[in-house]
Amino acid sequence: MSIPTLSQIAHGLSTGHFSSEEITCDLLADIVAKDKQYNSFITITKTLALVQARAADQRRSQGRAAPLTGVPIAHKDIFCTRGIRTSCASRMLDNFVPPYESTVSQRLLDAGSVCLGKTNLDEFAMGSSNETSYYGVVNNPWDLDAVPGGSSGGSTVAVAAGLVPGATGTDTGGSIRQPASFCGVTGIKPTYGRVSRFGIIAYASSLDQAGPIARTAEDVALMLNVMAGFDQQDSTSVDRAVDDYCAQLEQPLKGLKIGLPKEYFGPGLDDGVAQCILSAVQDYERLGAQILDISLSKLPLSIAAYYVIASAEASSNLSRYDGVRYGYRCDQPTGLLDMYCRSRAEGFGTEVKRRIMVGTYALSEGYFDAYYRKAQCIRRLIKNEFEHALAQVDVIMGPVTPTPAFNQGSKTVNPVGMYLEDIYTLSANLAGIPAMSVPAGFVSGRPVGLQIMGNYFAEAQLLQIAHQYQKVTDWHLQIPPHSSQECA
C-alpha cells in the first residue's frame, strides 16, 4: 500500500498512465468519502477541478504540457481565488468570493495544475493547532484525537491522508513547518520576499510567506519552481532570478557543514523528539556532512518579539474587516459604532480577537517604543545572530516543535502555553530566512519533523539536503493509519 507522490503523479500523467481527469475524479471521490473524518477541506471545487483537468489533458495532447500540468493540488483557504469562496476560516469572510486571484494560485493555474479545493486553517492563520477555524477542528490522520498543527493544518492533513499530492500553505511563525511536522509531510517556508504575497489574506505582513507542502522534497521543489518569483504587485517581493529547485537535488552532501544550536536542544524538548532529530543528524554525518555545535542565544526572545510584531501588524491588517464593503455585517446595527463593534465581535473568533487586542495595545500611545519598536530591535539581534551563525555553517538543524502533535483541546485554555510551542519556528520568520520541515521519525505513533534552516535564498540547498535524506530514509513515505487507500 502506498500513496503516490506529486512527482509520481506528474510522471504518470506525462507517460500517459492515466489522465488528469481520471486522477482528479479519483481524488475528488476520496475527498468526498474520507474528508468527513479529517475536515481538511472548507470548499471542494469539483466542477472547476474537472474543467481544469480536461483542459490540462487537452493541453498535454497538444504537446504543451508543463511539469505540473494536470497535477491536482489544493490551496489553503487564505489564497484569494477568483470566483471561489475564500473564507480564511472566518465567519467574517464566510460569504467572500473574491473577483481576483492571488499571484501564487495564478502561477499554479498558469502551470496547468488542477485545484481540488480550499483547505482548512486556523482562523486568519492565527493558531498552532487548527482548532480556531470557523469551520471546525481539523483531525490528524495519524491520530484523530491529535491536532494536525496550524495554521496550514488542512493542507498538511490533506497531503498526509493522500487526498491531494500537494497543497499550498503560508507560514508566519511556523504555519507550514509545524503542521508538516505534526502530519509527517514535507514543507518549506521560503525566504521572505521569494514568493509573492499578493492576494494572500494578510496576517502579519512582514512575516507572512507562502510555500508548498507535499510528501517529498522533490514534490516541494516542483511546486516551488512554479510559486516563486518576482511580482510587481508586492512591494516586498524580491526582484532576483529564481533558482531551478530541482537542479541540485541529486548533488551529494559531502563537506556540508551543519550547525546544531544548543538552545534548540534545551529544557522543554521532548526526549523522543530529541532522539529523532539526533538520529537524523547521524544520518547526515553518514552522508558526509560535518556537524558543528553553535549557539543562537536570542532564541528565547523570539516568542516575545514575534507575538508583539505579529499581533501589532494583525491588529492593523484586520481593521479592513468592518462590514462596509464585503464580509460579515451584524444584523440591525443601531448606528455606525454599533455596526463596527458588533460586526467585528461576531465575525471574528476568540483567538483572532485576542491578537487584535494585544496588537492594539502594543501600538497604543505610550507603548509603541516599549513594545513594537523594542520587538523590532530584538528582531535585528535575531537576524544578526543568524547571519553570524550562517557564516560558520551552511545550514542549521533542530526540531520543528518541542513535542509531537498534542491532543485536541489540551492547550486551548492557556494561550501562552500554546504560544510557547512555536519557539523553534518563530525566529526564521523574524529573520526572514528559509526553513523547512522534513519527516524524521515518530514518537508514540505521531510524526516528528526535522527543521532545516538556511541562508537567504538558499531554498535549492535546503531542498537538496532534504532530498538526499529522503533517499536514505522512508519516514516521509509512511502512511497514516486513517488515510485513504491507494488511489492511482
Catalytic residues: 76, 151, 175
Q: Residue 170: which residues within 8 A CB-CB, separation 6 or more?
A: 76, 78, 125, 151, 152, 176, 200, 203, 208, 209, 210, 211
Q: How far is the CB of 402 from another protein (least distance, A)?
A: 16
> In the complex with another protein, which residue's Cβ is closer, 18 or 96?
96
Q: How far is the CB of 335 from another protein (least distance, A)?
A: 5
Q: Residue 332: which residues within 8 A CB-CB, separation 6 or more?
A: none
Decide: 443 and 404 in contact? Cβ < 8 Å: yes
Query: How many angstroms separate the Cα of 346 from the Cα of each of 112, 203, 317, 342, 414?
Result: 39, 19, 18, 6, 22
Cα 225–227–228 angle (5° rounding)?
75
> In the complex with another protein, which residue's Cβ is closer, 245 or 348?
348
Q: Which helix (H) or strand (E) holds 458?
A: none
Among positive and negative, which fits the CA dihedral 217, 223, 226, 231? negative
Q: How far is the CB of 372 from another protein (least distance, A)?
A: 6
> In the complex with another protein, which residue's Cβ is closer, 262 or 373?
373
* Helical spans, DSSP H, in 87-152: 103-110
The helix/strand/coil state of 209 is coil
Please choose, from the candidates 304, 411, 317, 305, the residue with its C-alpha nearest in 3D space to the C-alpha of residue 360: 317
Q: How far is the CB of 460 from another protein (least distance, A)?
A: 18
> In the complex with another protein, which residue's Cβ is closer, 260 or 301?
301
Q: How far apart are CA 435 and CA 169, in angstroms?
A: 14
Q: Which helix (H) or strand (E) holds 75?
A: strand 72-76
Q: How far is the CB of 37 from another protein (least distance, A)?
A: 30
> In the complex with another protein, which residue's Cβ is closer, 331 or 474?
331
Q: How far apart are CA 452 and CA 26, in angstroms?
A: 34
> In the complex with another protein, which residue's Cβ is closer, 297 or 407?
297
> In the complex with another protein, which residue's Cβ is closer, 4 or 333?
333
Can you state the angle between helices 459-472 and 271-286, rounded to 10 degrees? 90
Decide: 245 and 221 in contact? Cβ < 8 Å: yes
> In the complex with another protein, which residue's Cβ is closer, 256 or 431?
431
Q: How far apart are CA 424 and CA 267, in angstroms?
A: 13
Please choose, from the candidates 200, 244, 237, 238, the residue with its C-alpha nearest in 3D space to the C-alpha of residue 222: 244
Residue 110 cell numbers, joined: 498558469
Q: How far is the CB of 137 from another protein (least distance, A)?
A: 20
Q: How far is the CB of 299 from another protein (least distance, A)?
A: 12
The helix/strand/coil state of 463 is helix
Residue 92 cell numbers, joined: 467574517
Q: How far is the CB of 133 from another protein (least distance, A)?
A: 17
